[in-house]
Amino acid sequence: MDRRKFCRTAVAASVAAAIPILPGCGKKAPVATQADTSIRGISLDGAEIELEKAAIRELGESMTGPVLLSGHPDYDGARTIWNGMHDKRPALIARCLNAEDVSEAVTFARERELLVAVRGGGHSWPGKSICDDGLMVDLSQMNTVTADAETQRASAQGGALLSALDAAALNKGMVTTAGVVSHTGVGGYTLGGGFGRLNRKYGLTVDNVTGAQIVTADGTVRRISAEEEPDLFWAIRGGGGNFGVATEFEYQLHPFDRNVLSGSIVWPVEQLRDVLEFYAEWSAGLSDEMYVGPTIATTPDGVRVVMMDVVYNGDPAAGEKELAPLRAIGSPIMDGVTVQDYTVLQTINDVAFGHGVRSYAKNGMVKEWTQGLVNAIVESDDPRIFVANHVAGGAVKRVGELDTAFPHRNAEIMLVIVSGWMDPAQDDEFIAATRANFKAIEPHTGGYYTNIDFDGAEAAGNYGPAYERLRKIKGQYDPGNLFRLNSNIEPA
């Protein structure tokens, strides 16, 4: 088998009514397309409320994009998000086409204290971009991305996907830090911090955000940056979706040769301890250009393996020299690291993390590789579990702890314990296995990444010294806690 094909296969296998559309402004839908009766909704505090048909009609007429209700042909597609674990039915889906549509939808929800979920790319692992009986603000149609080599900036709407961000930048000979599954949405990914294969060189995605457009709970469309509303700009860079609906981001771009030394090295799981013990010591001295981290997976034919995904953002000859000690460890099954297009590795996980797979994940930040952590990983290994990672260090660490709201600057790596399956009858089994596996390594971690964890500890402890400032900003821009389906920050 071709070695690169083998590596890709190993990675990919690691983890599968009666009310029609409401018309918006300027559309030629007939007047009869409206709710015939009031419908049931749910308030922010969980109480049942009534959404009057006249108010629903008014919302539909105020928006450029449509409002979808149960029974419309597009309703089920709009409410379906990436993780098949989450099957919820919003009372209304506001399919927004611009920031003004978002403002109308947010105002509608705030005035009625209606529960709100915000869907960007629909990739929220814990399913926070969907809710039962509330309002889903759907940004999926707002997906334009542009890049400018002269200004070295990219602009991406809140519903765009990372694949579009990569493509627009690479076409201009540039790049910014983007994530490891290309069908992830830019919105939630960016607001949470943004780990990617270039972050050791360029920092997290939030370190590359130069401005944003956001609709806050009062319905105001705001342009924010380090100069305009700097407190809010600080908060959205790591504070998640607590402060409003981000409808556009501006990113710093960096000149980049898309042909990079990259790929995966694969060993049999019997060599797991040797590989991890070497990596624990060797990785501490790596250059900013070298991104390499361990994953543990099971191939389609049942072979358990340990892999290192590699991207060297620099001269391939220098990368080969720096990588040589890792290649000398043990007896790899395959070595697929070669000079190739950056998007090969950027899309390698797209199938394994495909839409519809039922998936549960836990994660923890690792400040230091220790023998105890290596022992815990080796001794708790379970063939049902995919152990993934997001490497940090380098430029990520050189940003001050309170320069952005992202709270884990001192982490060397984030370990992600993942399971994936298709049969709902297996939910309890795989969730329990994931929790047990994470419990074994949890004593060696500190803090978690809010975009991934289903049931992490309260936000106060996770945000540390940034939390009180975040509470004050939340109190200023969302005093009623309208945006609460997230790792929630209580307004001061």
- The gap from C-alpha 367 to its chain's centroid, in whole angstroms, comes to 21
Q: Which one of 99, 121, 138 terminates a domain?
A: 138
Is 37 part of a structural domain of the chain? yes
Is 489 part of a structural domain of the chain? no
**pLDDT tens readout for residues 175-189:** 999 999 999 999 999
Is 78 part of a structural domain of the chain? no
Pair 134, 26 in one domain? yes
**pLDDT tens readout for residues 116-150:** 999 999 999 999 999 999 999 999 999 999 999 99
Is 491 part of a structural domain of the chain? no
pLDDT band per the 50, 70, 90 thresholds, residue 10 = very low
Pair 315, 232 in one domain? no
Give the up-direction half-sphere exposure of residue 72: CA atoms within 13 A in the CB hemisphere. 25
Is 488 part of a structural domain of the chain? no
pLDDT at 34: 54
Q: Count of domains in the chain?
A: 3
Average pLDDT, the chain: 92
Measured CA to CA in angstroms, residue 257 lies from 13, 91, 173 at distances of 29, 47, 7
**pLDDT tens readout for residues 304-338:** 999 999 999 999 999 999 999 999 999 999 999 99
Pair 397, 440 in one domain? yes
188 and 198 in contact (C-beta within 8 Å)? Answer: no
**pLDDT tens readout for residues 421-476:** 999 999 999 999 999 999 999 999 999 999 998 776 678 899 999 999 999 999 99
Report the b/e string of 180-195 with b at 16+ CB within 10 A.
bbbbbbbbbbbbbbbb
Is 483 part of a structural domain of the chain? no
Is 451 part of a structural domain of the chain? no
Q: Which one of 138, 158, 183 terminates a domain?
A: 138
Pair 291, 410 in one domain? yes
Pair 240, 271 in one domain? no
How much of the chain is in helix, strand and coil states, percent to nearest 5?
Answer: 35, 25, 45
pLDDT at 453: 85
Q: Which one of 106, 138, 170 terminates a domain?
A: 138
**What is the pTM (predicted TM-score) of this model?**
0.92
**pLDDT tens readout for residues 63-110:** 999 999 999 999 999 999 999 999 999 999 999 999 999 999 999 999
Is 356 part of a structural domain of the chain? yes
Is the pLDDT assigned to residue 19 strictly greater than 50? no
Pair 278, 407 in one domain? yes
Determine the length of the chain.
Answer: 492
Pair 283, 295 in one domain? yes
Pair 464, 364 in one domain? no
Nearest Cα residue to 81 out of 122, 132, 135: 122
We report the CATH number of the domain holding residue 65 as 3.30.43.10
Pair 319, 365 in one domain? yes
Pair 239, 283 in one domain? no
Is the pLDDT assigned to residue 27 strictly greater than 90? no
Cα–Cα distance, 319 to 262 (Å, whole number) = 9
Pair 375, 262 in one domain? yes
We report the CATH number of the domain holding residue 382 as 3.40.462.20
pLDDT at 459: 87
Pair 240, 277 in one domain? no
Q: Which domain holds residue 30?
A: 18-69+83-138
**pLDDT tens readout for residues 338-383:** 999 999 999 999 998 999 999 999 999 999 999 999 999 999 999 9
DSSP string for residues in 317-337: HHHHHHHHHHHTSS--SEE--
